[in-house]
């Protein structure tokens, strides 16, 4: 019986060590020059909103599966201040912030779930990943496709664009003048993310 227990313990230890050898833990810091751009339209004209000041020191922790060349995130959130969104038009900026209920939910959040490993990509290749986008307390999981640029070995630039609609987040587009002016449902969201590897 003792012999059987010893063999079992050795087997479990070897299995656990093997599992750990398949993954590697690393971290990225989100750089300050990261940005977000939202493009939309009304029944009168189009508009562009952006966030050019990234105010947080978010760190993303992930493990790498070397066989699948895939990253899985544990600490995973990029946080954006809603009151930093600027549509370059006072009324549109104000209405969009109110629609996003910025006083109760002051942050727009991008939660990274998984990502193709950008460190093994060849120049010109794109990668895919899953993110949970959180607006006004509502979350939608989407697949993003990114163009990747390696800047000096430890800094990676990811740029991606996704078409969304207000109703994805249970929101109604802003309306003005008894509905004579209204923002259309469709939004095009573009991100420029710069990650610096720290471990």
pLDDT single digits (tens) 108-147: 999 999 999 888 877 678 999 999 999 999 999 999 999 9
Q: Is residue 6 part of a domain?
A: no
Closest listed residue to residue 188, CA positions, set 160, 169, 171, 163: 163
Rounded Cα distance, 10 and 5, in Å: 9
The whole-model pTM stands at 0.82
| Whole-number pLDDT of residue 156 | 87
| Whole-number pLDDT of residue 66 | 73
Compute the residue count for the chain. 199
Provide the CA 126 distance to its chain's centre, in angstroms.
Answer: 16
Q: Is residue 31 part of a domain?
A: yes
150 contacts: CB under 8 Å, gap ≥ 6: 118, 119, 156, 157
Q: Is residue 19 part of a domain?
A: no
Question: Which carries the bigger pLDDT value, residue 16 or residue 125?
Answer: 125
Q: Is residue 114 part of a domain?
A: yes
Q: Which two tokens stand for residue 17?
A: 């060590």
| Whole-number pLDDT of residue 19 | 45
Count of domains forming the chain: 1
Average pLDDT along the chain: 84
Q: Is residue 96 part of a domain?
A: yes
Print the domain residue range for 57.
25-197
Mean pLDDT lowest among 15-29, 87-101, 124-138: 15-29
Rounded Cα distance, 147 and 160, in Å: 6
| Whole-number pLDDT of residue 177 | 59
CATH of the domain at 68: 2.40.128.110
CA dihedral 157, 131, 163, 126 (to 10 degrees): 40
pLDDT single digits (tens) 52-64: 878 888 999 999 8
Q: Is residue 150 part of a domain?
A: yes
Q: Is residue 16 part of a domain?
A: no
- Indicate the burial class of 82 (C-beta count within 10 angstroms; 0-12, 13-18, 19 or more): buried
Q: Is residue 20 part of a domain?
A: no
């Amino acid at each position: 019986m003792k012999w059987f227990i010893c063999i079992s313990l050795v087997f479990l230890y070897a299995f656990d060590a093997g599992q750990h050898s398949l993954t590697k833990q690393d971290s990225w810091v989100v750089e300050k020059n990261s940005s977000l751009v939202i493009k939309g339209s009304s029944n009168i004209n189009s508009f562009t909103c952006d966030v050019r000041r990234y105010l947080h020191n978010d760190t993303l922790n992930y493990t790498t599966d070397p066989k699948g060349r895939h990253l899985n995130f544990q600490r995973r959130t990029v946080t954006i201040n809603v009151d930093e969104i600027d549509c370059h038009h006072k009324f549109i900026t104000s209405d969009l912030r109110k629609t996003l209920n910025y006083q109760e939910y002051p942050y727009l959040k991008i939660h990274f779930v998984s990502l193709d490993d950008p460190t093994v990509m060849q120049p010109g290749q794109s990668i895919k990943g899953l993110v949970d986008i959180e607006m006004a307390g509502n979350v939608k999981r989407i697949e993003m496709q990114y163009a990747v640029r390696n800047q000096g070995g430890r800094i990676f630039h990811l740029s991606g664009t996704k078409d969304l609609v207000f109703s994805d987040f249970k929101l109604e587009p802003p309306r003005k003048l008894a509905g004579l002016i209204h923002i259309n449902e469709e939004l095009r969201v573009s991100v420029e993310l710069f990650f610096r590897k720290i471990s």
